[in-house]
Amino acid sequence: MAASVEILTAIRELTNSKQIDRAELHGLLEDGINAALAKKHGPTVQAEVDIDESKGAIRIVLLKTVVEEVTDPASQISLEEARFEDPDFQIGDQMEIPVDFAEFGRTAVQAAKQRIIQRVREGERSKIRDEFSSRVGDLLSGEVQQIERGKLVIMLNKFREAEAIIPYREQNHREHFHQGDPIRAVLKRIEETPKGPRLVLSRADALFVKALFKLEVPEIQQNLVEIRASAREVGSRTKIAVFSRDDSVDPVGACVGLKGSRVQAVVNELGGERIDIVPWSADPERFAKLALAPARVARVFSDPATKTIQAIVDEDQLSLAIGRNGQNVRLASELTEWKIEL
C-alpha cells in the first residue's frame, strides 16, 4: 500500500504543478505500470490496472490464458495450475492473478514515476509547439529571468514553462535590461533542442516593429491596413511601407494616429528610434520615390534587367535622399528590394 500511496502522491503533485489533466496522468501511470510488468514478466504480459485515488489504492491483475502446455509464461498458465485455484477452469479461459503493487519494489516505483515525468515533458513540448508554431511574428510579454553570456532568458507571462531567449544578436544594444525587468519581444522562430523547443525572440528584427504597430493600430488588427515591407537599422531608423484594403482608410494616417499618438508609442518602445511610414506601391518607380522620403524625388529611371533604379533629386534634396552615412538610400533600397542610385 505504501508504494501505491507514494506514486498517487506523485500524481497529485504533477497535476498541481504541471496543470496536466488527471485522467491523462492516470493513463500515463497505467503505461508505467505495464512497462514495469513487462520488465518483470516479459513483453507479452497482459494486465488490467485500476486506480482509485479516493482510497489511495492501485489494483493490478495479470490476465493469463489457460492452456494445456505453457509456451509463454508471461501470458499463459497451465490447466493444472489454474485448476489448483479453481477446479472449474477450462482450456481457453482467462485467469485473473492479483498483483501486489509493493512487489514492484522501490526501483520499479521510481521507474514508473520517471516514465510519467518523461511523458509529461513530451506532452509539454507538444503543447509548446502547438501553441507557438503559428505565432511567429507575434508580440510576447514576459520578464527577464536571467542574463547568460549576453543572451536574455525570458519567463513568459502566459506560458511560463516555455523556454524563451533573446540572443545577443537579436537585441537592441542601445537598450539595457536587468534581471526582473518586464520585456516585450517578437517571436522570430522556434528552435529544436535536446531539451525540447526553444522560442527565439527578437527586439532587433523588423518583425518587432511590425508587431508593435499591430498592437497600436486597430486597422492592422482588422486587416484593413497591412505593412507590406519593412527595413530596419536597429536603434537608429526603420522604414515601413503600408497598404490599405479599404479606399476610405489612409494607411499612413492610421499608423501615425491622432497627433502622432500611435507611432509615438512605437518610438517609445524602441527607445527613440526614428520611423518613416510611406505608402506601398506595386509600381517599382513610384515605390522608390515614396521610399526615399523625406526627400522629394524629381524623376526616376528603372532597369528591370539589373533591378536598379536611378533617382534624380534637386540639389537641396540630395543630402536628405542620401541620409546620414547613406542610411536613407540604403534603407529605401532594402524596403523596395531594388538597388537605388542617386
Point out the domain boundary residue: 249, 264, 280.
Answer: 280
Tell me, yes or no, whether 276 and 337 share the same domain: no
- Can you give the pLDDT at residue 131? 80
CATH number of domain containing 70: 3.30.1480.10
Q: What is the dihedral of CA 120, 121, 124, 126, to 10 degrees?
A: -100
Mean pLDDT of the chain: 86
Write out pLDDT tens, residues 274-305: 999 999 999 999 999 999 999 898 898 988 99
- Can you give the pLDDT at residue 342? 85
- The predicted model gives 243-272 an average pLDDT of 94
> How far, in Å, CA of 268 to CA of 215, rounded?
14
- Can you give the pLDDT at residue 203? 95
Write out pLDDT tens, residues 133-187: 888 889 999 999 999 888 999 988 877 777 889 999 999 988 889 999 999 999 9
Tell me, yes or no, whether 106 and 143 share the same domain: no
Residue 51's alpha-carbon distances to 1, 5, 56, 98, 121, in angstroms, are 12, 11, 8, 14, 22
- Contact by Cβ (8 Å): 76, 88: no
Write out pLDDT tens, residues 101-112: 776 656 556 666
Phi, psi for 77 (deg, rounded to 5): -140, 145
Residue 161, classified by CB atoms within 10 Å of its CB into exposed (0-12), middle (13-18) or buried (19+), is middle
Place of cell 482608410: 249
Q: Is the pTM of this model over 0.85?
A: no
Point out the domain boundary residue: 259, 280, 301.
Answer: 280
CATH number of domain containing 270: 3.30.300.20
- The predicted model gives 75-84 an average pLDDT of 91
Tell me, yes or no, whether 143 and 196 share the same domain: yes
Tell me, yes or no, whether 276 and 212 share the same domain: yes
Residue 67's alpha-carbon distances to 41, 44, 64, 264, 279, in angstroms, are 18, 15, 9, 82, 83
- Can you give the pLDDT at residue 123? 76
- Can you give the pLDDT at residue 109? 62
205: cell is 528584427
User: Does residue 134 lie in a domain region?
Assistant: no
- Can you give the pLDDT at residue 307? 93
Looking at per-residue confidence, does 5 or 62 come out higher? Answer: 62
Tell me, yes or no, whether 85 and 14 share the same domain: yes
Tell me, yes or no, whether 85 and 21 share the same domain: yes
In the chain, % of residues over pLDDT 70: 90
**How many domains are contained in the chain?**
4
User: Does residue 131 lie in a domain region?
Assistant: no
Q: In terms of residue numbers, what domain contains 298? A: 285-342
CATH number of domain containing 197: 2.40.50.140
- Can you give the pLDDT at residue 140? 92
User: Does residue 192 lie in a domain region?
Assistant: yes
Place of cell 536613407: 328
Write out pLDDT tens, residues 172-226: 988 889 999 999 999 999 888 887 888 999 999 999 999 999 999 999 999 999 9
> How far, in Å, CA of 162 to CA of 156, rounded?
7
Highest-confidence range of 32-36, 126-130, 227-231, by mean pLDDT? 227-231
Point out the domain boundary residue: 163, 179, 202.
Answer: 202
**3-state SS class at 227:** strand
The pairing of beta strand 339-341 with beta strand 308-312 = parallel
Tell me, yes or no, whether 276 and 301 share the same domain: no
- 252, amino acid identity: V
Q: Which residues are 152's β-sheet partners?
A: 147, 166
Query: Which of 124, 142, 139, 159 lies closest to 216 in space, CA to CA?
Result: 139
Tell me, yes or no, whether 7 and 92 share the same domain: yes
> How far, in Å, CA of 294 to CA of 316, rounded?
12
Confidence of residue 232 (pLDDT cuts 50, 70, 90): very high
Tell me, yes or no, whether 47 and 111 share the same domain: yes
Whether the predicted pLDDT of 247 surpasses 80: yes
Q: What is the dihedral of CA 184, 188, 192, 195, to 10 degrees?
A: -10
- Can you give the pLDDT at residue 11? 62
In the chain, % of residues over pLDDT 90: 51
